[in-house]
Amino acid sequence: MRGDRSMTERILNVLRPYASNWTGTLGRGDLVIPQREIPRVIHEILDALRDESVETEASEQELFDLLMATRRGPSVQDQVKALVRRFRILQR
């Protein structure tokens, strides 16, 4: 899942400047985000998610490969489940 890794890295890049390495009540790995910065951080995270979540149509080859792989499934319902797991199916 290359896309998941890329999205995670983008979110971590937004949060990295706020990582705490202090001792005491704050432990290593805690985030310290000033209250005035919270809206900006939220917008940057949403932008990172939005950029990564652009969906494209499945290619004919991807659809064909999945249909051929599920063709010998025990039931049509199992074939539909495989399609739903792999692709987002929109009703018109």
- What pLDDT tens digit does each residue of the chain (92 aa) get? 445 677 788 888 888 888 876 666 656 668 888 899 999 999 988 887 776 666 677 788 888 888 888 888 788 888 888 888 888 777 77
> What's residue 81's pLDDT?
87
Residues 43 and 16 in one domain: yes
What confidence score (pLDDT) does residue 40 get? Answer: 93
For residue 35, the model assigns a pLDDT of 92
Q: Which residues pair with 31 in a beta bridge?
A: 19
Clarify whether residues 61 and 84 are in a common domain.
Answer: yes
Ramachandran class of 24: left when φ > 0, alpha when ψ lies in -120 to 50, beta otherwise: left
pLDDT at 1: 42
Q: What is the pLDDT of residue 22?
A: 64
Domain count of the fold of the chain: 2
Domain coverage including residue 37? 2-52
Note whether 8 and 41 are same-domain residues.
yes
